[in-house]
Amino acid sequence: MDTRSNHNALAFDVTHLMVLSIAIPMTLGFMTTPLLGLTNTAVVGRMGNAEALAGLAIGAMLFDLILGSFNFLRASTTGLTAQAYGRRDQHEQQAVFSRAMISALGCGLALLCLSPLLMAAGLG
């Protein structure tokens, strides 16, 4: 098979609408974490308890740190899936998904088991 004809079969036009259909949900998704912290701060701040507000700030920072530490999983999965899609390798796309899912579940279970230690370290 000619690589040039294979390349043309995979080509598609990128429109502003296509980019926006991906960018807007991603932007909204990235905004939810700070909005959650802002809402929690507003609610707890109305209680007038400085200790509760300080605890909320520490918890929000730990949550952001731990959540942000796993961005590598999303970024690497996206790149590997795009490469497999470009090669039209359905098996590799499924393998990337399976590996990412196993890694995510493993990391989630590890965080769940280590949560008492992480909480003690974060409060320290």
Could you report the per-residue pLDDT of 19-30, keeping only the tens digit for each? 888 889 888 877
Is-contact 40 60, C-beta < 8 A?
A: yes
Q: Amino acid identity of 57? A: A
Is-contact 62 118, C-beta < 8 A?
A: yes
Is-contact 37 60, C-beta < 8 A?
A: yes
pTM for the structure as a whole: 0.59
pLDDT band with cut points at 50, 70 and 90 for residue 69: confident
Domain regions of the chain by residue span: 3-123
Could you report the per-residue pLDDT of 72-105, keeping only the tens digit for each? 888 888 889 888 988 889 999 999 999 999 999 9
